Structures are given as structure tokens and as C-alpha cells.
Amino acid sequence: MIDKRHFILFVLILLLSSSGTVMGQFVSFRLELPAGVSFKSKVIGPNPENPDQQMIWIEMVANENLTVLLDLREVDSGKFYDGLVYFLNDGTVNFAQAEIVSQGNQTLQLDNRGMLIRNLEPFANSLHAWLGLPATKGIVAKIEYP
């Protein structure tokens, strides 16, 4: 007669040595990134408020009217940058018309009309906006978009 311990051991060996079929379910995901987003920087002219200071203007180009998150910090302290920063989103390159962005985290929209690109008139293939930063060291600018 087989005792209980031997029976459990026999069943365990039988289960481990047997083969079976494994069924799985395929999982798929799709990562959607806004197509055609690019950032280009240019040193163009003086600061609208202070003609003695040069500005770095970052051109943001996208195929849709995106909202971006801007985070400006000082490198040394990690605090929010409190200097003047400009944003131009009217479709022109008239930097004198740029608006001053307040310090801290900001949400900025590439086109100030607040519409999808397919609803804009006149039709545009891409939207352009400009971010103006003073040409000084010690500023970290993070631009995040969906």
C-alpha cells in the first residue's frame, strides 16, 4: 500500500513531467506621436525690452495645433527662472509683438486661435510659434508636448 507522502510525490512528478499546450493572447499597442514636430533655435536680434541683450528664438513647428508645457529653471538653484521670456504664436516673425511669459510652468498653444489645423483659414500645412529666451548661461528650458 502507498502512503500519503509517496502519493503526493508521485502526483507532483507526474504533473511536472507531463506536457500540455499553452495558449496565449497577443497584446498590441499603438504609440501615437505628433508627426512633424521640430524645434530649431536661432540667435536673432535684441531683446524687445532690452536692446543690449541678445535673444535666442526657438522655432516650434508642428502639423497640429499642439499645447506644449514650458518649464524654465535656473541650473544652479533649480528654482524657476524669473527673467523675461517671450512667446510669439500669431503665425508671424514679428518678434516685437511677442508676449511675455510669466515664470514657472506654463502651457502654451502653437496657434493663438485655439482651433485644429484642419479648421484654420487660410489652410496651413504646419503651424509655427517662437519662444524667446535671453542668450545667457544657466537656464534649463524643458518643452514637453503630448
DSSP assignment of 9-72 equals: HHHHHHHHH-----------------TT-EEEEEEEEE-SS-TTSEEEEEEEEESS--EEEEEE
Q: State the Cα–Cα distance between residues 68 and 85, nearest whole angstrom.
A: 15
* Domain CATH code at residue 77: 2.60.120
Whether 53 is in a domain gets the answer: yes
Evaluate if pTM is beyond 0.85: no
In a domain, 124, yes or no: yes
Q: With respect to residue 29, please indicate whether it lies within any of the assigned structural domains.
A: no
Q: What are phi and psi of 46, to 5 degrees?
A: -85, 170
- Mean pLDDT of all residues belonging to the chain: 76
What residues make up the domain containing 138?
38-144
Position 12 in a domain: no
pLDDT of 6 reads 73
The model's confidence at residue 29, banded by pLDDT at 50, 70 and 90, is: very low
Percent helix, strand, coil in the chain (nearest 5)? 15, 35, 50
Separation between Cα atoms, residue 106 and residue 67, nearest integer Å: 10
Dihedral sign (CA 79, 139, 95, 93): negative
Q: Within a domain: residue 11?
A: no
pLDDT of residue 33: 44
- Residue 90 resides in a domain: yes
pLDDT of 116 higher than 60: yes
With respect to residue 7, please indicate whether it lies within any of the assigned structural domains: no
The tens digit of pLDDT for each residue in 32-68 reads 445 556 667 666 666 667 777 778 888 888 888 888 8
Quote the number of domains for the chain: 1
Please give the angle made by the CA atoms of 61, 59 and 111, to the nearest 5 degrees: 55
Per the model's pLDDT, the better-predicted residue between 73 and 30 turns out to be: 73
Domain for residue 69, yes or no?
yes
Q: What is the mean pLDDT of residues 94-102?
A: 86
